[in-house]
Structure 1
Amino acid sequence: MAAVVLHPRDLAGCEHRLALDHSHPGLMRSRSDTPEAQRRKEAAEHHRAAVREMVRGLHSDQPPGTVVIVDARADHATRVAQTLAACADEAAWIWNATLPIDRDRGRRGHAELLIRDGAGYLPVIVVNHRVSYPAKPHRNDTVPNGGSALTSPVWAWVPAPDPSRNGRNHRRDQLRLAQLTTMLLDLDLATSTDPAQLRAGAIGLDADCIVVYEMATLLEDYAEVFTRREAIAGQHVATTPRRIGECRSCPWWTRCGPELEARRDVSLVVGGHQSSVLTEAGITSIDQLAHYRGDPPPEWPSNARFEDTVVNAIAWLTGTPLVRRLPEPAVVRADVEVDVDMESYGELGAYLWGTLLTDRTDASRPVRYRAFVTWEPLPTRDEARSFAEFWGWLSAEREATRAAGKTFAAYCYSQQAENRWLLGSAKRFAGEPGIPAVSEVEAFIASDEWVDIYEAVSTNFICPNGKGLKKIAPVAGFTWRDAEASGEASMDWYREAVGHGGAVTDLAQRQRLFEYNEDDVRATKVLREWIDTRAKDEVPHEDQVLGFRHRD
């Protein structure tokens, strides 16, 4: 009998966390979710519920028993019994399918859907992220090219090549599907015993198709992963902490962080893959890296500048928050400058567009914060109104500035989020009053008048403590009014501001969100002006920092 039982979530991510989770099961059971984790769970549940109702509706004209909904409120044993009964009755679609825990083989799992195909079932999971994206067309050609995804419509299992899409490889999803497929094989419920014939699927955030996976290769990878993870969970393979992105939200960080700092572990100053390469090359401590003078290790990634890691190590030892790459830092400036910051609530929409206009040619014109907002709980069509008002105001300022013979620039910090909601809003609300054409938004995003200060920071500086606005702007002297200000906290404030999910509406939180958003745009302005003026005198150049190595 297997000593441990692995859930699919145990198959990816930090190995040391897996070891700690299984060596201290009591601590894990007693821990409550962080607010961020709770929000993710609620968003995922909201998405799954929407897909469940879509599946139910698509088959509402089918005979009874075509779609079986396993009762999510029932205990585990009841859910298993309902799932196996539905399989025995050859139901075509089984929602919330829960498979028996296999203690002999050490596996457990459930699938949002089991779909009958031939004489057996295949698993389909429903996830709250995108599992495919549009294939890029040829230049001057509207027909997508190079799509590599295999997809099926959401109303029937008919997989076919989809030239309009490329799949997105999410390792966690694939390992989960592999475990579920293996469990179906062990239960003699799979569609085939031939791995080459096995398929599985995922319905992503857009919920407009099922992305189909051929399982043969994935099952081979899964078998290796499962064997190692089982040994780690059973305490047969020793692990050691290493800082990776996952650490930011890990409950074990309060234990691992001090341990890493005590041994001055190199992973504290470089990314996960880079720290593995350095460790394999015998560079395990920050001190070793800070004094390193040789060539980069042979496996060092070509897209990463090795000197930056040495600078990061020296900065960690010397407490240097920022290092200049260039003799003279530079950033795009204009006569009329507008800072922009957007606030969204998960995947439900963008409820606030904040702006700060500065006319550098007219000192009498006040630097004024303007917010375009909807306080109707997302999702809401009123989001179209607030976005249209924002876009109309921004476009009018651009046109007036040009007409006056002045230059114009709009700024944001890390435009990925803003671009997503600019384009997404234009697409979702197309045809409504004031909503721009997608081509108009695309032209703006591609223009020189849309400037990302995050990119300017990356070009001008090495950032030992990260490149987030709340890491960099304080170096330029900016302070947020709210000591709790963060993207994570703003999610909680929004819930209370609109009474989301049945919460009591707290109007004071709306003012808090306005101030948080205003501080974000003011921070971008302060940072830009600092880069253009004082940074060259206040931030050491990398040559000065690398001189640390000559103190030996």
Structure 2
Amino acid sequence: MVNPLRGDDLVTCPHRLVLERTGVPRDDVEESAEIAYRRSRAEEMRARVLTRMEDLGARRVRGRSDTLAALERGVEIILSPVLPDDVPGRRRAQSHALVRVGRRDDTYLYSPLLIRNIEFTDFSPTRFLDVSSLEGLTSRETAREGATPRSGPSIARSVVALAHATRVLESLGVADTLARVILVDRHERAWWWSLNDPPGSRLSWSAYDTAYEERRALLDALEEALPEPVSEPYWHRECPDCPYQSRCRDELLARDDVSLVQFTSRAHQDLFHHFGVHTRADLAALDPSRCDGPAARGEDPPLEHLLADTVEHVGDLIYRARSALSGGPLRKVAPDLLQCPRGEVEVDVDMESCEDRTYLWGARVRLARPVEGLAEGYVSVVSWDPLTAEVEAEVFARFWRWFDSVRHHAGMAGATFRAYCFWAQAEDGAMNRALGTLSDPDLRARVEHFRRRETGEWIDLHEVVSHQIQTDGPTGLKKLARAAGFDWRDESPSGEASLLWYRHATSDEPDAPWWRERLLAYNEDDCAATAALRDWLNGDARHLPSRDVWPPQ
């Protein structure tokens, strides 16, 4: 079969797929150390889980004929299967295992299983998923747990790959009739769900079918050798690491392509073009206020309203385009409304984590007036021991004792107290994990009281900024703090890079202490960055142009 579609093909950029299939030379780009580290960690985790499953009785097969024989015999768990291609569907699929889930007449039925070094779910009080241990795979002994799948590229890629493998199993006549699939996360927990979930669910067939039809049409067009190009470049979330980025980037910038506002959907690109919106300038010239509400009686609906019916968050995309063309952030609110709450005792908090466990809590204290028992400066609580749930909890408990003492001293002095973080969802999640491990009701009560919105003590700076500042894309600390005039001491500061630094910092290498100091300095600068951003909101940011005045005056 020529050019079968693999699971990864369905989530990659369509234009990249065309370039790959037509043999266009790739950029000579070396994989970053951070990505290589993530890849190696994923491979280590996958090998560990496969070995454990084999120890539990799963059968490892060798090649396609061995896989087909195991399917026919009804082997309970088949490791490293090699499935035949679905020739009519032009599909080639891969899964890490196949789990026997039933039988139809003389045919055994299977569900595909993937192993991913990711955090797959968040707690949910209203939504539930089935989960089992690795030992429970053969018996299908699952428990209902309050959980909702996370969103993001790694989750979408996994769901599509499982759906792709299920279609190939269908072509062989051995797919589970309930379309159940399994994902094993980094905690070695096996999550089960059905692709027959309601359309629109992140875990259903709908996302897969759309991607498959689009990519299949591209391959068909390539084989027809049409005179016009079958695809054109557009901005995709893969762009920063794509081996064709130099080829596409200059073309996109030269034509001010509308996709540079980063909506990451070829369907949206086609819709914008259909309505005559080809550039960011075209988009910026639209009126966001006309996106909502019905058209006047007897009048055709405005273009903005038509777009809003088919493209999500059109108003925000218009403002993104304006920010990009302005060369910097814009104001969402009037100058006198642009501000961040202040305190007489201010603590900027940041944490560092590896694979969803937190090993470092850092904070920077700033005083508007002297307070007995308190001093300005940076404080860190860290552990370089193997990062277990117990170590994570102990680090937080030590940090909280210090943090609570700062609150106590502020209260005794009659000073207003404020603590700040950027993206409270991350800090709150780390607190919740630690509290769950510690099982200390008194500590939980004190933390929960501190985090109550009505106390005004715990301020999510991301939320503050999101309501007041317009940027040309996602609202990140690195971009905003630099707009505020702050910069990091490290030449390559990023959460991705810090994962690699942590690996060195916890190794037996002679320079491990240097890596530890680098992480502490990075964390201190993150704390300082939130302080700089707060000062900017209360000062120079008020001079930014308004996003609602276009073109700028």
> So what's the TM-score if we normalise by structure 1?
0.81
RMSD: 3.4
Q: Distance in 1 between matches of 2:14 and 2:311?
A: 26
Match of 2:218 among 208, 232, 247: 232
Could you tell me which residue of structure 1 aligns to residue 293 of structure 2? none
In the superposition, relative to structure 1, how do residues 96 and 353 fare at CA in structure 2: closer, same or farther (>3 Å)? Answer: same
Q: Distance in 2 between matches of 1:293 and 1:386?
A: 50
Query: Any unmatched runs of 5+ in structure 2?
Result: 224-228, 291-303
1:453-501 CA-to-partner distances (Å, cap 9, x unmatched) read 11111122111254211111122221211222222222222222222xx
In the superposition, relative to structure 1, how do residues 518 and 472 fare at CA in structure 2: closer, same or farther (>3 Å)? Answer: same
Q: Distance in 2 between matches of 1:439 and 1:150?
A: 30
Q: Kindly report which structure 2 residues correspond to 1:191-270, keeping only aligned pairs within 5 A, or say none.
A: 191=176, 196-215=177-196, 222=208, 225-233=211-219, 235-236=222-223, 238-269=230-261
In the superposition, relative to structure 1, how do residues 56 and 457 fare at CA in structure 2: closer, same or farther (>3 Å)? Answer: same
Could you tell me which residue of structure 1 aligns to residue 9 of structure 2? 10
Could you tell me which residue of structure 1 aligns to residue 296 of structure 2? none
1:162-204 CA-to-partner distances (Å, cap 9, x unmatched) read 374455685433332222123223334445xxxx544332233
Q: Distance in 1 between matches of 2:319 and 2:173?
A: 57
1:109-168 CA-to-partner distances (Å, cap 9, x unmatched) read 2222211233232212223334444442xxxxxxxxx54545556414447793744556
- The answer on whether the counterparts of 1:130 and 1:205 sit within 8 Å (CA) in structure 2 is yes
Could you tell me which residue of structure 2 aligns to residue 178 of structure 1? 163
- The answer on whether the counterparts of 1:290 and 1:313 sit within 8 Å (CA) in structure 2 is yes
1:361 to partner: Cα distance: 1.7
Equivalences, count: 512
Match of 1:416 among 421, 425, 430: 425
Match of 1:509 among 490, 496, 515: 515
Query: Any unmatched runs of 5+ in structure 1?
Result: 60-65, 71-77, 137-145
1:16 to partner: Cα distance: 1.5
In the superposition, relative to structure 1, how do residues 461 and 256 fare at CA in structure 2: closer, same or farther (>3 Å)? Answer: same
Q: Distance in 1 between matches of 2:378 and 2:532?
A: 14
Could you tell me which residue of structure 1 aligns to residue 111 of structure 2? 122
Q: Distance in 2 between matches of 1:337 and 1:398?
A: 10
- The answer on whether the counterparts of 1:132 and 1:211 sit within 8 Å (CA) in structure 2 is no
1:288-307 CA-to-partner distances (Å, cap 9, x unmatched) read 22333583232417997755
Match of 1:337 among 311, 335, 346: 346
- The answer on whether the counterparts of 1:321 and 1:465 sit within 8 Å (CA) in structure 2 is no
- The answer on whether the counterparts of 2:362 and 2:524 sit within 8 Å (CA) in structure 1 is yes
Q: Distance in 1 between matches of 2:175 and 2:59?
A: 18
Residue identity opposite 1:283 in structure 2: V
The residue matched to 1:343 in structure 2 has which SS? strand
Could you tell me which residue of structure 1 aligns to residue 334 of structure 2? 326
Could you tell me which residue of structure 2 aligns to residue 390 of structure 1? 399
In the superposition, relative to structure 1, how do residues 529 and 26 fare at CA in structure 2: closer, same or farther (>3 Å)? Answer: closer
- The answer on whether the counterparts of 1:283 and 1:289 sit within 8 Å (CA) in structure 2 is yes
Identity of paired residues, percent?
30
The residue matched to 1:110 in structure 2 has which SS? coil
1:91 is aligned to 2:82:
no
Could you tell me which residue of structure 1 aligns to residue 92 of structure 2? 108
Q: Kindly report which structure 2 residues correspond to 1:306-317, keeping only aligned pairs within 5 A, or say none.
A: 308-317=316-325
Q: Kindly report which structure 2 residues correspond to 1:141-540, keeping only aligned pairs within 5 A, or say none.
A: 146-147=126-127, 149-150=129-130, 154=134, 155=136, 156-158=138-140, 162=144, 164-166=146-148, 170-191=155-176, 196-215=177-196, 222=208, 225-233=211-219, 235-236=222-223, 238-269=230-261, 271-272=263-264, 277-293=271-287, 295=290, 296-300=304-308, 308-328=316-336, 329-347=338-356, 349-362=357-370, 366-379=375-388, 381-430=390-439, 437-447=443-453, 448-464=456-472, 466-499=474-507, 505-537=511-543, 539-540=544-545
Q: Distance in 1 between matches of 2:67 and 2:12?
A: 29
- The answer on whether the counterparts of 1:277 and 1:300 sit within 8 Å (CA) in structure 2 is no
Q: Distance in 1 between matches of 2:307 and 2:247?
A: 30
1:398-436 CA-to-partner distances (Å, cap 9, x unmatched) read 1221222221111111122222212112223446xxx97
In the superposition, relative to structure 1, how do residues 429 and 126 fare at CA in structure 2: closer, same or farther (>3 Å)? Answer: farther
In terms of mean alpha carbon deviation, does 528-537 or 387-396 score higher?
Answer: 528-537
> So what's the TM-score if we normalise by structure 2?
0.81
In the superposition, relative to structure 1, how do residues 189 and 504 fare at CA in structure 2: closer, same or farther (>3 Å)? Answer: farther
The residue matched to 1:181 in structure 2 has which SS? helix
Q: Distance in 2 between matches of 1:369 and 1:380?
A: 25
1:381-410 CA-to-partner distances (Å, cap 9, x unmatched) read 443332221111111111221222221111
1:257 to partner: Cα distance: 1.7
